[in-house]
Amino acid sequence: MQPLPKGHKKLLNAWAFYDWANSVYNLTISSAIFPIFWGALTIVRDDQDNIISDTVQFMGIEFNNDSLISYVTALAFLVVSIISPLLSGIADYVGNKKNFLKFFCYLGALSCIGLYWFSLEQLWFGLLCYFLALIGFWASLVFYNSYLPDIAFPEQQDAISAKGYSLGYIGSVILLIINLVMIMKFEWFGFEGAGVPTRLSFVMVGVWWIVFSQYTYYYLPKGNKKEELTKSVLFNGFKELKMIWKALKNNLRLRRYLSAFFVYSMAVQTIMLIATYFGIEELDWGEQDATTGLIISILLIQLVAVLGAYLTSKASSKFGNIKTLIVINFVWIALCIYAYTITTPVQFYVAAAIVGMVMGGIQALSRSTYSKFLPEDAVDTASYFSFYDVSEKIGIVIGMFSYGLIAQLTGSIRYSILFLILFFVVGLLLLFRVPRTES
């Protein structure tokens, strides 16, 4: 097919549609069904639904189940944070980045399908699939995002990026609802229990991701070839990060803000990744089905996050970005204290609503604040945001490892939640030190 010109409507829609294809991973695997599946697989309860054991044997070592999955998650994000600059360098200079996008898409999707065979007897295989699915998802985004300036003119980029986000949200919620119906009403589909439809949901994520991405691949160009892949090109991403690190020394406001973001983001991202695990292990669901309750909570977070982002935007325009971020961090501290005390589904729903409100707000405002603080004469904004993304991922590694370690040492993830307050407090103190004007 003849390549479509830059800015063509079909090309823009095809690019945005990849969000529809891949966002099902983020909702189903990262947030919803897999955490519930992991809890059911690793937690042993008595007839009164009290937890007898939540430990897992892996590689001859006994782990708390939440600690083990957080360590694997942290390791995967560490790999992503290391390879992202390499991939960015490749994406910028090599003309076949569509093949790289496909590779990581298929790696992630096939790994999701592999989760169907997840069992305690083959724990290494299941954790490997989980590990590779996470890498596939995040690494594919490097190439996906790098296409935006290639396919859209500057005045089109905000609108088409927002359209991609919207498509991703709609698609992921549709598949999650389908999976939920399969799991909760398994008898309608001829299943004898929820086990098989739960595993089939992982397969459906992989198939959905592969099938719907074909529309994107059909229209996307191979890439804009600039030069051959050499050692210099391969490590270009790391050189750009080093350049930004040096530039920060001369920008006090941006440096202090990025330090604050790095610290409080550790806690924010960790809470987003472990919220469902907390709900599985720490709540007394009584007669209510835990799976339904948890997925309702996740959908509630998703919906409220949109409102939170909108209200935060309004607040920042009236009171300023830093003041608004300070207030949001205070809310997160109060939320962690509240989460330590909750035991019932209703309390968890309240916490979920608050999480959604401040999650959407802090994510949107953090990124826009960083963008506002960039030097006016900066021409390498992509490098600045690469630095931002790598900082965020390294923060996730530290946050998830700290969470897992505290849970392992204390035997309770409630203490891990309390420990996360420390990150918010330090982030808060650093925000107070951010100059209101450029120095």
pLDDT digits (tens, 9 = 90+) for 113-138: 999 999 888 899 999 999 999 999 98
For residues 126 and 112, what is the distance between their CA atoms, to the nearest angstrom?
A: 10
pLDDT of 411 over the 80 cut: no
Of 251, 247, 256, nearest to 426 by C-alpha is: 256
User: What is the structure's pLDDT at 128?
Assistant: 96
Q: Is residue 406 part of a domain?
A: yes
Q: Are residues 330 and 203 in the same domain?
A: no
Q: Is residue 244 part of a domain?
A: no
- 376: domain CATH number is 1.20.1250.20
Q: Are residues 35 and 83 in the same domain?
A: yes
For residues 348 and 350, what is the distance between their CA atoms, to the nearest angstrom?
A: 5
| pLDDT tier for residue 31 given thresholds of 50, 70 and 90 | confident
For residues 31 and 276, what is the distance between their CA atoms, to the nearest angstrom?
A: 7
Higher pLDDT, 207 or 49: 207
Q: Is residue 362 part of a domain?
A: yes
Q: Are residues 205 and 296 in the same domain?
A: no
User: What is the structure's pLDDT at 143?
Assistant: 80
User: What is the structure's pLDDT at 327?
Assistant: 92
Q: Among 174, 207, 222, which residue terminates a domain?
A: 222
Arithmetic mean of pLDDT over the chain: 83
Q: Is residue 227 part of a domain?
A: no
Q: Are residues 80 and 216 in the same domain?
A: yes
Q: Are residues 324 and 265 in the same domain?
A: yes
Q: Is residue 383 part of a domain?
A: yes
**Residues 291-308, mean pLDDT to the nearest whole number:** 77
Q: Are residues 66 and 109 in the same domain?
A: yes
For residues 384 and 367, what is the distance between their CA atoms, to the nearest angstrom?
A: 11
Q: Are residues 270 and 187 in the same domain?
A: no
* Tokens 């951010």 found at: 434
Spatial contact of 386 and 308, defined as CB atoms under 8 Å apart: no
Taking only the tens place, the pLDDT of each residue in 197-231 is 999 999 999 999 999 999 999 988 876 555 555 66
Higher pLDDT, 141 or 202: 202
Q: Is residue 238 part of a domain?
A: no
DSSP labels, 369-407: HHHHHS-TT-S-HHHHHHHHHHHHHHHHHHHHHHHHHHH
| pLDDT tier for residue 431 given thresholds of 50, 70 and 90 | very high
Higher pLDDT, 179 or 166: 179
| pLDDT tier for residue 40 given thresholds of 50, 70 and 90 | confident
pLDDT of 342 over the 60 cut: yes
Taking only the tens place, the pLDDT of each residue in 350-405 is 888 888 888 767 877 887 787 777 777 665 565 677 787 788 888 888 888 888 88
Residue 235 CA, distance from chain mean position: 26
User: What is the structure's pLDDT at 276?
Assistant: 78
Q: Is residue 240 part of a domain?
A: no
Is the dihedral angle over the CA atoms 110, 270, 160, 238 positive or is it negative? Answer: negative
Higher pLDDT, 162 or 98: 98
Of 47, 70, 56, nearest to 403 by C-alpha is: 70
pLDDT of 306 over the 90 cut: no
User: What is the structure's pLDDT at 224?
Assistant: 57
* Percentage, residues of the chain above pLDDT 90: 23
For residue 263, what are the domain limits? Answer: 250-439
> What total number of domains does the chain contain?
2
User: What is the structure's pLDDT at 435?
Assistant: 86
| pLDDT tier for residue 49 given thresholds of 50, 70 and 90 | low
Q: Is residue 235 part of a domain?
A: no
User: What is the structure's pLDDT at 94?
Assistant: 63
Higher pLDDT, 29 or 43: 29
**Residues 135-158, mean pLDDT to the nearest whole number:** 79
Sequence-separated contacts (24+) of 391-394 with Cβ below 8 Å: 391/258, 391/261, 391/262, 391/265, 392/261, 392/262, 392/265, 392/269, 393/77, 393/78, 393/80, 393/81, 393/84, 393/138, 394/77, 394/78, 394/81, 394/262
Residue 56 tokens, joined = 């897992």
| pLDDT tier for residue 95 given thresholds of 50, 70 and 90 | low
Spatial contact of 390 and 84, defined as CB atoms under 8 Å apart: yes
**Residues 134-154, mean pLDDT to the nearest whole number:** 82
pLDDT of 93 over the 80 cut: no
